[in-house]
Chains A and B, each alone.
Chain A
Amino acid sequence: MAARFDVRRTLTEPLIRQNPVTLQILGICSALAVTTSLSTALTMSVSLTVVLTLSAMIISVIRRHIPDSIRLIVQIIIVASLVIVIDQVLQAYFADISSALSIYVSLITTNCLVLGRTEAYARHNPPLHAAVDAFGNGLGYSLILLLVGGLREVFGRGQLFGWQVLPLAEAGGWFTPLSLMLLAPSAFFLLGGVIWAIRTLLPTQAEAPDHVPPADVRAIE
């Protein structure tokens, strides 16, 4: 690590350019499941960011002393303990949201994003750098989750954070809620749309096609 550490770059790069969800397609499961409303998406984002940052820091602090043979299990045990603590805190102070998130908080443990960042970055970098990188990645994940959650809540219920922003047709307004938005497939569509939009704007993110279609046959004739 001879190059100077650029805090701003490490922090902002994962927001769009290196976004863990849209570029690396990590953490999709929770992005589909908990984005039916903005408040659950926000709670999930905060929980994941906290777990990610803390685990990256802890693992980075002891990185020189983790024997290679038990590396993964040590990382997982640290992540899992942090997740249990967060889950307990949520159950104690945010009981409603905790029941809405159901098992997905516990599933942060198996969220590829957390293990991916600790394995790829925190294991080789000093604590502060690892924390900044993890926080940036957490923010990138949060950005996508809040975007999808906000869109789903607005179009599915006409609400934001539980506040009625669009007047419902049944209450005398003009807006008819799209129930599809509250089902999991809509998150897929939205996520796909976001990925398409980003890759259109930043063509470097587009993957090379696996197959090249055969050239126009008539040209050979």
Chain B
Amino acid sequence: MAGTDHNPWRRFLALPNESRTKTLVMAFLVSGICALMVSGATVLLRPIQTANRAAEEQARIAELVRGIPGMTDLLEQSGGTLSTVVIDLDDGRAAQDVTTETFATVLADTANWTALEPAADIAGLAQRPDYAQIFLLRTGEEISLVLLPLTGQGYGGRIDAILALEGDMNTIAGIAITGHSETPGLGGRIEDPSWQARFPGTLLRDEGGELRFGVARGTASTPYQVDGITGATRTGRGVSNMVQFWLGPDGYGPLLRAINRGEF
């Protein structure tokens, strides 16, 4: 570089720091490089993170099943595995052309999602998939346990959970929270095993068949309620709405009826 003037980069560096050009260019340069770094890391590491999350969810399902009284014995009797079924949420039957292998790709297609009416959308989801992957455990021919994945809107973001129902499709056998972004120490306590331990035995519907389940604002007063978490009213309401929505007519309602009719 003979003259400093011919190299634009050097000319730029030689500018006084206070000049407007230098300020602007530096700002863009720094943010551009940082953006590259951040997006590079995110994109490169995403497959590993997804695998981690899937493994974690598997571990939670296993833990949920183990935590339900008598479940380990049941599992041993039935060969130790839960069968996975992809169901069509609209008619509550096993999906014909979707398998567990193709499930993820099918859900990636927006055509397989249904927009929800604002009145029906109590869980704040805006749309729900047409297919869901559930887990069934049989004792002989009878279904003794169903695991249903749920999603809802909490205080800080989405809550993902898996709800286990006993064979009567009305008694909760357990719940596992697989993902949430609630405030640590407050709503984040939905992760606590001690809070989740209050779910088993809670009933969903009364004799008339009406869905009565809810998270109480304080201590539970009916067999359909679970104690709330102090200081986390909106998280509790989020969990209530999530269960209400997913076990209702737009969620697993048709499936539960089909199971009760003995179609599975």
Contact = CB atoms under 8 A, between A and B. Distances in A.
A65 B184 contact: no
Contact of B22 (A65, A81, A89): A65
B111 interface: no
Contacts of B37: 81-82, 85
B42 interface: yes
Contacts of B17: 64-68
B18 A78 contact: no
A92 B23 CA distance: 36
A91 B184 contact: no
Contacts of A110: none
B256 to A, nearest CB: 32
A81 B38 contact: yes
A interface majority secondary structure: helix
B84 to A, nearest CB: 23
A69 B45 contact: no
B34 A78 contact: yes
B249 to A, nearest CB: 35
A66 B15 CA distance: 11
A102 B30 contact: no
A7 interface: no
B26 interface: yes
Interface residues of A, number: 25
A185 B17 CA distance: 47
A92 B95 CA distance: 33
B23 A102 contact: no
A74 B30 contact: yes
A200 to B, nearest CB: 34
Interface stretch (B48-56, B117-125, B147-155, B204-212): B48-56
A85 B34 CA distance: 10
A144 to B, nearest CB: 22
Interface in B44-69: 45, 48-49, 52-53, 56
Contacts of B30: 62, 74, 77-78
A88 interface: yes
Contacts of B19: 67
A91 B38 contact: no
A67 B18 contact: yes
A66 B25 CA distance: 10
Contact of A89 (B18, B31, B41, B56): B41
Nearest to B56: A95
Given A88-B49, A89-B45, 19 more contacts: A67-B17, A67-B22, A74-B26, A74-B30, A77-B30, A78-B34, A80-B34, A81-B34, A81-B37, A84-B41, A85-B41, A88-B41, A88-B45, A91-B52, A92-B45, A95-B52, A102-B184, A102-B188, A103-B184
Interface of A: 62, 64-70, 73-74, 77-78, 80-82, 84-85, 88-89, 91-93, 95, 102-103
5 contacts: A67-B17, A74-B30, A85-B37, A92-B48, A92-B49
